Amino acid sequence: MRTVCLAAAVALTGCVVDDLDLSETDDAVTTTNRLAANRLAANRLAANRLAANSLTAAALTSSALIQTADGREVFSYIVSCALPTNHSVTVADSKGIWYTFYGEIGLAPGWQTGTPTVAERHWVTACLLARTNYYGVSVQLSMRGAHPALATTNTETTTYKVAEGAFYGDLFATTPSWYACGTKKWTATLAQDAQRTCTISQDGVTTMCGFTYEYFCGTNYTTSLNTVKAAACSNTRPPFSGCMGAEPTTWAEVITIFLKT
């Protein structure tokens, strides 16, 4: 598992203190460490073009992600999720201004110099979604999944014991997708108190962060119309895996979020 401490504004959350350092190579630029859900949504089509390139590819100099502050924020979190610490990517925008983006978690280290595998795209997507927060606040959380970069410690598992839900999808596909499911115990009241509502839906279609809502991760769900929704994931206990989306496929690259009691 991985603990991440993030601030968010409809934003990323998460404890390896997640203050992303986004700077020009000649002069530091102060930026927030928030990935707003609306910024992620607005840059999804630009992000999916990264699938054909390495993160250090010269093509990024003309990427829409690098041209705006919002796009650079999204890209900073892509690099943070994909690359491990002590790794970075430096690219220039169309005006010749150079920016450096730093790795942190290491879910797709090969993406630095080569095109990502499908699994790497899925892991980075799950990371981006899991670190999104609706309220714009800093929330300590634990990220867990079947990836070596998300290995847990005893301290982590005993400190972060409340499962919120799971995140998965592929923001880098030709048709981007993003999914979230919640645990049965993660009620709207608990979510609001904890300020983590990206697995909560008000309309049964999308979550409050705009992700496709897949209801409960590990148990069946009966709607107000007495329609039964099957559990989104194959295992009943978190961390979850084998989760379903709209596609006729099962997602193995799933990140489950745990919070402190």
Residue, of 169 and 248, whose pLDDT is higher: 169
3-state secondary structure (DSSP) of residue 151: coil
Question: How much of the chain, in percent, has pLDDT values that exceed 90?
Answer: 42
Q: What are phi and psi of 185, to 5 degrees?
A: -80, -15
Question: How much of the chain, in percent, has pLDDT values that exceed 70?
Answer: 82
- Does the pLDDT value for residue 45 go beyond 80? no
Alpha carbons 225 and 238: distance in angstroms, whole number: 27
Range with the poorest average pLDDT among 48-62, 78-92, 109-123, 239-253: 48-62
Query: How high is the mean pLDDT of the chain?
Result: 81
Helix (H) or strand (E) holding 196: none
What are 190's two structure tokens?
């608990």
Residue, of 35 and 129, whose pLDDT is higher: 129
Looking at residues 202-230, what average pLDDT do you find? 87
Q: Is 100 left (phi over 0), alpha (psi -120 to 50) or beta?
A: beta
- Does the pLDDT value for residue 248 go beyond 80? no
Q: What are the boundaries of each domain within the chain?
A: 19-124, 138-260
Hey, which residues does 101 pair with through a beta bridge?
89
